[in-house]
Amino acid sequence: MYVSYTIVWIMDKSEIIKFIEEFSDKKERTIIIIDYSNVEKWKNSLNWKVGIKEMSQLIKNFSFGKKFLRRFYYGSDYGKNEKSEKLAGWSRSVLERADMNNLEVITKRVKYIHDDSNFSGFAKKCDLDVEMSVDLIKEKDNYDNIIIFSGDGDLMYAVKYLHEEFKKECYVFGARNHIGREVFDMREAGVVKKILFVEDFEYRLRDKYKPTFWRR
C-alpha cells in the first residue's frame, strides 16, 4: 500500500549537494538496488521519466568501483509466446542501456498471465523482490550502506534484518505519494536512515534519451 497524503518537505539543490558530499568516503562500501519496474511507474505521477543514463550518473556519487554493487533489476520481455526466443526491442534497449551505463543487470523472463479484465487479454508479471532480498543478504560483507530506488515496501523485511544484525544503513529513493507505508514505518523506527524524493532530483534524473523506435 502506498501513502496517499501529500508529502510537503523538499530538498533544495544545496541540500542535495550536501547529501552527496556525505557519501564521498562511503562510495566503495555502498550497494545500489534499482527496481526499475517500480521506477518506470513513477512517470505516471511525475509527468517525466527517470533516465537510466541520468540515474547511473547520479549513482556514481554514491557507489564507485565494484560494478556488482550497482544492481539493476528488470524483466526480459519475449512476448506472450512462451517459446519465443526473440527479446522485444524496447526490452532489449532497456537492458542494454543499463549494462552500457555500468550497472549489473539481473533479469528473468516476463510471464504473460491470462486476464480477461485487461484489454490485451493478458497481464504481465515479473517480480524480482526475492532476488533483491537474497542479493542484499548474499553481498552483506561487501557493503555498509544500501540505497534503494523503489517505493515498494517489500524489501523492508530484509532491510530491517540487515540493520539489526549487521548495522547496515539504508536510504530510499521514491516518488512522493508512491512510497509504501512500510518504508515510512522503517524510517520512524530508525531502520531507514533517509527517504529521498525523486521530484527534488529532477534536474539530475529527468530522461534525455531519444529513442529511434517505438517504445511501449
The answer to whether residue 5 sits within a structural domain is: no
pLDDT at 4 over 50: no
**Rounded Cα gap, residues 108 and 77, in angstroms:** 9
pTM more than 0.85: yes
CA distances from 110 to 44, 66, 95, 127, 149 (A): 21, 28, 13, 9, 20
Question: Which secondary-structure segment (H or E) carries 187?
Answer: helix 181-188
Q: What is the pLDDT of residue 213?
A: 46
Structural domain count, the chain: 1
Kindly report which listed range (78-82, 85-89, 101-105, 126-130) carries the lowest average pLDDT score: 78-82
The CATH number for 132's domain is 3.40.50.1010
For 186-213, the pLDDT digits (tens) are 999 999 999 999 999 999 999 986 655 4
Is 168 part of any domain?
yes
pLDDT, tens only, 16-72:
999 999 999 999 999 999 999 999 999 998 999 999 999 999 999 999 989 999 999
Confirm whether 6 is domain-assigned: no
Whether residue 43 lies inside any domain: the answer is yes
Residue 162 domain-assigned (yes or no)? yes
In this predicted model, what pLDDT tens digit does every residue of 131-145 receive, in sequence order?
Answer: 999 999 999 999 999
Q: Is residue 215 part of a domain?
A: no
Residue 3, in any domain of the structure: no
At 185, the amino acid letter reads: D
pLDDT band, very low/low/confident/very high, at 214 (cuts 50, 70, 90): very low
**Residue 7 domain flag:** no
Range of the domain at 190: 13-205
Dist CA 134 CA 29 (whole Å) = 18
